[in-house]
Amino acid sequence: MSKKKIVLFVVLTALLSSILTIAGICCMLELNAGRAANLARLLSAMHFIEQNYIETVDYTKMIDGAIGGMVHSLGDPHSVYLDQRLYNQVKSDTSGSFGGIGVYMGFKNGDVHIISVMPNSPGADAGLQAGDRILAVDGIPVNEILPDEVAIKIRGKAGSNVELLIGREGQADTIYTVKRDIINVKTVADKMLDDRIGYIRISSFSEKTGEEFKAALNELEAQNMKAFVLDLRENPGGVITSCVEVAKEIVPKGPIVSVIQRDGSKEVYSSELEQTKYPIVVLMDQNSASASELLAGALQDTKAATIVGTKSYGKGSVQTVMPMFHEDGLKLTIAKYYTPNERSIDGVGIEPDVEIKSDRLLPRLFNVETDIDDDAQLAKGVEILSDKLNGGE
């Protein structure tokens, strides 16, 4: 065989091998001709950048950016690409060993503001105050990242520092360096408002919220409670199974929530409670989201409670985290919640039965003292329950 034929054979073999490899990838990824062409565009762009950009390209960083861009193109604020640092923080979060700074945050009109600061927490020690606006985290402006990423970036290893650029009324913007620590949060607080009406606040749904709620309910029952206000304002949601545990105590028998995936598969959580024990008013606002909306929606649909306040946030979706191959991961929306009446609240929220607006900063669990005269929503809730207890509708 001549030298030319050998070279031609080698070239053809390599070409055939490349074609078979690409065909194999297309088959594995279930790519049709159109998708294969788009994949070729992506690979061509990557190759052109790598070969021609004026500086040496970090290939891994470029791939990270491509994946992040794909997730961003979904237009879903709850789907996020997690690079190595963010992914490790999420893993620490779910294992219960994450560090925080001890603040509750609210998200309104693109702003991130501090609702409350826990006493004796890293945030309190650093001088953070309720009403402060968080403008940047470690030098990254908050308007350049999603709300979920803001929270993830503030969390981190206990003992490490996070820098926050804080805006405070009447003062110049200031950088606060806060040393993270392990934060143990109680999510439920309770008290009697008068001799008949109780008050239960749930700040979020953690793994222990179900137990805490049952204890609060028992404590108020022992004080002869006849009705109660359930305060879900500024509650961002959390663990769905804990929310279901709470719902089983106060939602009458039947479906609580349905979780439906893209393929139509459905998981239904139900209550076995024969009947509700007490009249209930639920307080909600624009920062009540996810699991708190799930609970309020179930109570509203079953007519087990009256919803007072303002329309909720509208997060009726379920996320999962998929690990990838480089200590990174994808946090992706995979399903939606539906209320007992098969309402989807995603992007819609829950309309209150009685709309009462309030710009008041909300007391948190460590400050559960409530002033009805200074809280129009709570005052309305108490009025409604009093009417019910006095024989009104």
Angle at 306 between CA 383 and CA 308, to 5 degrees: 70
Neighbours of 385 (CB within 10 A): 24
Indicate which residue of 319, 344, 386, 388 is catalytic: 319
Helices (H), 139-203: 147-154
Can 315 be counted among the known catalytic residues? Answer: yes
Dihedral sign, CA of 364, 366, 368, 371? negative
Closest CA to 76 of 328, 317, 339: 317
Can 108 be counted among the known catalytic residues? Answer: no
Neighbours of 147 (CB within 10 A): 18
Indicate which residue of 79, 203, 258, 315 is catalytic: 315
Stated as kind and residue range, the H or E segment containing 6 is helix 3-28
Closest CA to 82 of 323, 316, 305: 323
Contacts of 346 (CB under 8 A, 6+ apart): 314, 315, 316, 317, 336, 337
Query: What is d(CA 287, CA 210) in angstroms, rounded to the nearest whole number?
Result: 21
3-state secondary structure 239-281: CHHHHHHHHHHHCCCEEEEEEEECCCCEEEEEECCCCCCCCEE
- Amino acid, single-letter form, for residue 112: V
Can 214 be counted among the known catalytic residues? Answer: no
Indicate which residue of 79, 203, 290, 292 is catalytic: 290
Say if residues 223 and 198 touch (Cβ distance below 8 Å).
yes
Active site (catalytic) residues:
290, 315, 319
